[in-house]
Amino acid sequence: MAKLTYPKYTNLCGWNAMLPARQARAALTGDLTVDYAVVGAGYTGFAVARRIQELDPQARIAVLEATTVGEGSSARNSGFTGAHLLPRNATVEMAEKARVQGRFYAEAFDWLMSIVRDNGIECDIRHAGSIRAAATELGEASLRKVVEVARVNDIAHSVLSRDDIRSRIGSSYYRFGIHMEDSVLLQPAALIRGLADALPSSVSLYENTPVTAIRRQDGWVLETPGGVVTCKRMALATNGFIPRFGYLKSRMATIYTYAAVTEEIPEARLGEIGESDAWGLLPSHRLGTTLRRIGRNRVMVRSLYAHETEIDQKQATAALRARFNRRWPDLADIRFEYLWGGTTAFTMNGAPWWGQLDDGLYASGGCNGSGIAKGTMLGRHLGELMLGHGGTHDALARSIGRASWIAPEPLRTIGFHLVSAFESRKAGMEM
Ligand SMILES: Cc1cc2nc3c(=O)[nH]c(=O)nc-3n(C[C@H](O)[C@H](O)[C@H](O)COP(=O)(O)OP(=O)(O)OC[C@H]3O[C@@H](n4cnc5c(N)ncnc54)[C@H](O)[C@@H]3O)c2cc1C
């Protein structure tokens, strides 16, 4: 098998840079034999490892991470999470399905929060809820359907007018919104770093340890630059990078998306970013822009998508700048202090792929823009599946669906560009 590629980002993760420096765990040097190997130290990988350890405390488990914890996408995201992950395109016809999914998300979210509490992980959790907002007529129509589902499923929410949104975020850009009361906002790099520190002692974490090839040999053998890992069972928890191992190539692709954080906005101008100390806003269209007020005096902007490779940094900066300026023209002189890209896995129907790929080989990917709770949920179930525990896996699989087929290259790239041109036109000012 050819040596596979793993994430190497152009810029450091801004969330990680805003925290004190962290000492990474040592890379693997020498060969290692374990019962279970997990590739990828993100929400999914940590959930797999922790669940296996909970159910089989004697098991020897190794987690192998190509970069360092705090530099992967689990830290590069926008930090929105919660127990109620209603899809952006939810309609009342999907309410029952959303209710079943909601039970699984809530179970995973509660589990994650109990780990946070029990281990004293400080990740700046704000129970601020999240705003879903629309700047266009089309966006408003789609959000009104989400309001219906929230009402039918009894999910705590309130409807926001343009003035309501303006008073919260200081911008009159949006015409309609819904405030999801139960969502939480957190510092993702602090959370994933905390989860690494909280790993039980029977789980060994190796950072700066990319897995460069895997092969079957009386179990599985994983090659890394510093040594070989031999195990009975292994999990690929590498999200958009699973296809680089030669699996699920026709199910998912790597997608890059970008975020920027402003410098600290002077005290006298804080009124321009609204009355709430902490807020988060999600777009009504999938190509839209996510916004957050963080650390009281900064704003984060997340937008843009690129297929398989990073886009030029100047282009990313200019695009994010334009989105920020459209919303806060009076803050156009405020600089971006951080800008970074991160990856998710694109799947055609938005559903993840989760389960067994081969004898002793398991994978979970495609948790997309909700990976904090969804990656945790899928990783937890994958850990149970790897141990042969029965339970609710079939119900979970039925409720979340399965990533559908995607055309191979070169059709895929052509398709990506066509769909993104079409969707960008549709998204319009939601971007
Ligand atoms: C800018 C941005 C904003 C987002 N906003 C949100 C949000 O607000 N809320 C939310 O819930 N989700 C959000 N997401 C999505 C979320 O970050 C992902 O769904 C989540 O990170 C998936 O977790 P994971 O553990 O499955 O994969 P990852 O976090 O990608 O972890 C996989 C790990 O595998 C490692 N890896 C890959 N290949 C190899 C290899 N060969 N050897 C060893 N290690 C390897 C990677 O370095 C990585 O650390 C966002 C994503 C981005 C990029």
Quote the pTM value: 0.97
Q: Counting atoms of ligand 1 from 1, which one is nearest the CA of 4?
A: 41
**Phi, psi dihedral angles at 239 (to 5 degrees):** 45, -120
Using H for helix, E for strand and C for coil, what is the string for the chain?
A: CCCCCCCCCCCCCHHHHCCCCCCCCCCCCCCEECCEEEECCCHHHHHHHHHHHHHCCCCCEEEECCCCCCCCHHHHCCCEECCCCCCCCCCHHHHHHHHHHHHHHHHHHHHHHHHHHHCCCCCCCECCCEEEEECCHHHHHHHHHHHHHHHHCCCCEEEEEHHHHHHHHCCCCCCEEEEECCCEECCHHHHHHHHHHCCCCCEEEECCCCCCEEEECCCEEEEECCEEEEECEEEECCHHHHHHHCCCCCCEEEEEEEEEEECCCCHHHHHHHCCCCCCEEEECCCCCCEEEEECCCEEEEEEEEEECCCCCHHHHHHHHHHHHHHHCHHHCCCCEEEEEEEEEEEECCCCCEEEEEECCEEEEECCHHHHHHHHHHHHHHHHHHHCCCCCCHHHHHHHHCCCCCCCCCCHHHHHHHHHHHHHHHHHHHHC
Among 51, 63, 77, name the best residue to mutate to test ligand 1's pocket (greatest count of ligand atoms within 8 A of Cβ). Answer: 77
pLDDT of residue 110: 97
Q: Counting atoms of ligand 1 from 1, which one is nearest the CA of 40?
A: 34
- pLDDT tens digits for 295-312? 999 999 999 999 988 999
State how beta strands 298-307 and 61-64 pair. unpaired
* Contacts with 137 (C-beta within 8 Å, 6 or more apart), sequence order: none
Q: Is residue 68 lining ligand 1, measured as CB closer than 6 Å?
A: no
- pLDDT tens digits for 239-274? 999 999 999 999 999 999 999 999 999 999 999 999
Q: Is residue 78 lining ligand 1, measured as CB closer than 6 Å?
A: yes
Is the pLDDT at 368 greater than 60, yes or no? yes
- All structural domains of the chain, each given as residue ranges with its CATH number in brackets, are 14-400 (3.50.50.60)
- pLDDT tens digits for 386-400? 999 877 888 898 889
pLDDT of residue 3: 67
- pLDDT tens digits for 57-111? 999 999 999 999 999 999 999 999 998 888 888 888 888 888 888 899 999 999 9
Q: Counting atoms of ligand 1 from 1, which one is nearest the CA of 340?
A: 1
Q: Is residue 243 lining ligand 1, measured as CB closer than 6 Å?
A: no
